[in-house]
Structure 1
Amino acid sequence: MSTHKPQIKVPATYMRGGTSKGVFFRLQDLPEAAQAPGKARDALLLRVIGSPDPYGKQIDGMGGATSSTSKTVILSASTRAGHDVDYLFGQVSIDKAFVDWSGNCGNLSAAVGAFAISGGLVDPARVPRDGVAVVRIWQANIGKTIIAHILMANGEVQETGDFELDGVTFPAAEVQLEFMDPAAEEEGAGGSMFPTGRLVDDLEVPGIGTLKATMINAGIPTIFINADAIGYDGTELQDAINGDAAALAKFETIRAYGALRMGLIEDLSEAATRQHTPKVAFVAQPASYTASSGKQVQAGDIDLLVRALSMGKLHHAMMGTAAVAIGTAAAIPGTLVNLAAGGGQREAVRFGHPSGTLRVGALATQENGEWTVKKAIMSRSARVLMEGWVRVPQE
């Protein structure tokens, strides 16, 4: 008789949201031990995705061996007043045995509304047969509200359409997302949009120097630096940085010291187990370049250039949460993001990233000397790629 147990089957949906992909679960469908946060849940999600993988390929799982495709989502009907669904995001490390729960995924946020409607997590009375369903999402990782506008046709989510998103090969239906109060108090983030109290800081990074930095809590904690201060021009594509071990180590050092200054960690050693947040991004004034698809991006079509790192690598496009940070920082005169975009007050920016361009809007107001942003808005798309059961060996 075999001592090896059969695999378990867990209902799951594989979805693209924005420029990311992830495995989506309803909380009620998870094995009982994984329905609560903890080791059992993390172990299940690691095995689903195929981590930790010393080969860095995630061949034996659903992950795609990049930070954009090593993602998991757990949804449940919301018990919170004024919300339809609770959304919990787990960023799965590729080569290490941990799941980072410290932040949101802005890209996968675009898929949450559709999954919630199809999965019966939204009160049917709130979903029109045709038109736009407004899904009120509670982002449980960071305690924020996201409003998703989901197209409906004949009682079903409309996924197809002609909305094009740079970084995604095929067009789909547009999903408009509103990230409400993106910079309001967040657990463990110092409670302020600018945790140091300044729009621009001198960030001392041993071995690298003193860098001008805008450190902001909006969408996701992000450290913005100027491209030219670290030897870049802002038009770089992934290959220019991801194959350069010294460059990646430099960015990780900047990230760790920035996290310390932002109060996100108390000791530098903690940065290694908090890879998802904060993000590091570098900005520059507009310049023309060829995107990774071969498409030409003209300097006159963008307000600034931004390149961002996620989970230790240059991102192929832009994380949705970092786009919220970009839009928010751009709306506040004097930040490095705002200055790269030409300064002054603005309600939206179109920035260039490795895959093309993205527009994000944010309305900033100053009250008693403190900057506030009521919401950041951007459009994404999402669709179901596959649904059924994911199989997991029993540990």
Structure 2
Amino acid sequence: MPHLPQLRIPATYMRGGTSKGVFFRLDDLPEAARVPGADRDALLMRVIGSPDPYGKHTDGMGGATSSTSKCVIIGPPTQPDHDVDYLYGQVSIDTAFVDWSGNCGNLSTAVGPFAIANGFTDRARLPENGSFAVRVWQANIGKTIVVHVPIVNGEVQETGDFELDGVTFPAAEIVLEFIDPSDDGDAGAMFPTGNLVDELDVPGVGTLRATMINVGIPTVFVDAADIGYAGTELQDAINGDGKALAMFETIRAHGALRMGLIDDIAGAATRQHTPKVAFVSPPADYVASSGKAIAAADIDLNVRALSMGKLHHAMMGTCAVAIGTAAAIPGTLVNLAAGGGGRGAVRFGHPSGTLRVGAQARETDGRWTVTKAVMSRSARVLMEGTVRVPG
């Protein structure tokens, strides 16, 4: 039988924060994949190598983890005063599914350098040396992200001495500003239930105190002690325990239902990327996955979060926005774990080390809003050229 040749599609493989993914210019995609739908999903799954029942992504660009099974599509801006549109697809590893329901905060870091390098910004606007603010429209959630990219000799600076826990080598620091990051879409409020803390009934687990927040990415926070954990756990303690993973998925599903993100429990299976579920605890000493000792005195709290059904090796950028915002609001579980009171920034411990995130939150007429969340990450190009996909 005749065999079609492989497609050759221009692409860039980039690390952003503690994630990496395959970046495409919208106009470089095959015509059928330039619009949402089955053709686009099929293409991106084949690029990544999903679905893979072996869980290895041997025949694709993915890395068989939630942090490395990602695709990004960058196009001209559809909103005034922006430089690019950024669309993010989280590709499932073992099922034929691409989740478009949320953003990747880590890969947001790489969008700025990609936009500059690929001509989406006017080079006449670039400083010879300094920082350039790329205004990004995050099309999945309809929010603005400002990516402050360092420029040296008129080009993007990638190398540097900024160290990011969860990334082995240093690089140039990139500052991210998430503008008005609270989710006013699905549920219509930062706290969709109207409460800072709820009693969440989870069959087979019990009734848990939970802070459910829509900011950065919808997130369900619970206390580590309430589910039998110290809050200092690393990946192996969770990801090798099938019973624990099932418990977290049940918490996630019932949180999604309570937040109004799904209409029934079955809907959680088709919304794997959101919400996230995380557990928090007061600061405590632990040893990070790199062997680095983290002292309780150097952090405000500990947070562990799950992504696509597994404990994340560090922290999702969007979840960090949720952590920073919830920490700034007195009375949330995140705020209480950090010691309570008002705070404009927190440094939290995660499996790979620590991360600092700031948030500007305010209460007006009994309703909380956040105007901006800020954190530092790094990014660099790993490879560029063409990705090949069987026709």
TM-score by length of 1: 0.98
State the Cα distance separating 1:167 from its structure 2 match.
0.1
Contact persistence 1:77–1:122 (CA under 8 A): no
1:82 deviation in Å? 1.1
Aligned-partner residue type, residue 134 of structure 1: A
Shift of 1:155: 1.7
Matched, 1:298 2:323: no
Is 1:30 matched up with 2:29?
A: yes
Give the Cα–Cα distance (whole angstroms) in 2 for the partners of residues 79 and 242 of structure 1.
40
Q: Find the counterpart in structure 2 of residue 286 from structure 1.
A: 283
- Alignment correspondent of 2:263: 266
Q: Cα RMSD between the aligned structures?
A: 0.7
**Equivalent residue, structure 1, for 2:349:** 352
Any residues of structure 2 matched to 1:7-46 within 5 Å, and which?
A: 7-46=6-45
| 2:326 aligned residue (307, 329, 343) | 329
Q: Once the two structures are superposed, what CA deviation does each residue of 1:212-262 show, in whole Å capped at 9, x if it has no partner?
A: 000000000000000000000000000000000000000000000000000
1:60 paired to 2:59: yes
Q: Structure 1 residues 115-124 or 200-209, which shifts more?
A: 115-124
1:144-159 map, 5 Å: 144-159=143-158
- What code does the residue aligned with 1:103 have? G
Residue in 1 aligned with 2:74?
Answer: 75
Measured in 2, the distance between the counterparts of 1:373 and 1:245 equals 37
> CA-to-partner distance for each residue in 1:6-63, whole Å, 9 max, x for gaps?
1010000000000000000000000111001101100000000000000011100000
Secondary structure at the counterpart of residue 59 of structure 2: coil
In structure 2, C-alpha distance between the alignment counterparts of 1:269 and 1:369, rounded to whole Å: 33
Structure 1: where are the runs of 5+ without partners? none
Which secondary structure state, in structure 2, belongs to the residue aligned with residue 251 of structure 1? helix
Is 1:196 aligned to residue 193 of structure 2? Answer: yes
| Cα shift at 1:128 | 1.9
Query: How far apart in 1 are the matches of 2:374 and 2:224?
Result: 26
Paired letter, 1:183: S
SS in 2 for 1:107: helix
| Preserved contact between residue 183 and residue 217 of structure 2 (Cα < 8 Å) | no
> Identity of paired residues, percent?
75
Q: CA deviation at 1:369?
A: 1.1
**Which SS does the other structure have where 2:256 is aligned?**
helix
Structure 1 match to 2:208: 211
4+ residue stretches of structure 1 with deviation over 6 A?
none
Task: Give the counterpart of 2:229 among 228, 232, 238.
Answer: 232
Structure 2 match to 1:105: 104
Distance in 2, Cα, partners of 1:79 & 1:294: 45
Q: Which runs of 5+ in 2 are unaligned?
A: none
Distance 1:277 1:167, change over 3 A: same
Aligned length: 391
Query: Does the CA-based 8 Å contact 2:183-2:216 persist in structure 1?
Result: no
Measured after TM superposition, the shift of residue 184 of structure 1 is 4.6
SS at match of 2:5: coil
1:129 positional shift:
2.5
CA distance, structure 1, for counterparts of residue 128 and residue 264 of structure 2: 52
Per-residue CA deviation, residues 101-127 of structure 1 (Å, 9 max, x unaligned), is 000000000000000000111122332
Q: TM-score, normalised by structure 2?
A: 0.99
Counterpart residue type for residue 171 of structure 2: A
1:107-165 per-residue CA deviation (whole Å, 9 max, x = no partner) reads 00000000000011112233223211110000000000000000111121000000000
Distance 2:120 2:75 in 1: 7
CA offset digits 1:62-121 (Å, max 9, x no partner): 000000000000001203111111000000000000100000000000000000000111
Q: Distance in 1 between matches of 2:192 and 2:41?
A: 30
**Residue 69 to residue 350, structure 1, CA distance change in 2 (3 Å):** same
